[in-house]
Structure 1
Amino acid sequence: MTTTQPVVIYPPDEDGGRRVRIDGAILGRALSVKDVVAILQDAGLRAFDENCVAYSSLIEWRGGGPDHWAH
């Protein structure tokens, strides 16, 4: 899968989980940057690692960056 739309990581919910959206579809809920990486890799974006997730211009972090997981 290739994407021209940003990957969106939504703000943490009451349990600290963040929804992950790619190309308009919610593909999962992450509890850490490692979870985001796993979701992206499962979606075919295999080149992503923890560093890429934290700094990629393809990823829009809403409600805090990759270090923010508390509600």
Structure 2
Amino acid sequence: MVSDHPVVVYEPDEDGARRVRIDGRISGRAYSVRDVAAFMQEAGLQDYDEMDVVRSALIEWRGGGPDVWAH
């Protein structure tokens, strides 16, 4: 299934990290909303902060929303 969202944050792994995919490419593993914001800034959304990440319609959260970081 193809996502309508350019950013996908996958469910937490056994370490509490979540893979982050932006525009079809894995950007890395995030351990917090701050990490997701940093990946989005690196992808060209320099003004994104943690609150933007929590509210963004660009992000599909799989396995729990922005408040879920434990496996």
Please give the TM-score of this superposition, normalised by the length of structure 1: 0.89
Are 1:57 and 2:57 an aligned pair? yes
CA distance in 1, matches of 2:16, 2:62: 13
Are 1:15 and 2:23 an aligned pair? no
Q: CA RMSD in A?
A: 1.3
CA distance in 2, matches of 1:16, 1:56: 22
| 1:6-45 superposed matches below 5 A | 6-45=6-45
The Cα offsets for residues 8-63 of structure 1, whole Å up to 9 and x where unpaired, read as 00000000000010111001110000111111111111121111100110000000
Gaps of 5+ in 1: none
Are 1:48 and 2:51 an aligned pair? no
Quote the offset at 1:5 in angstroms. 4.2
Taking every aligned residue pair, what percent have the same amino acid on both sides? 68
Please give the TM-score of this superposition, normalised by the length of structure 2: 0.89
Quote the offset at 1:6 in angstroms. 2.3
Number of residue-to-residue matches in the alignment = 68
Misfit runs of 4+, over 3 Å: none
For 2:64, give the aligned amino acid.
Answer: G
SS at match of 1:53: helix
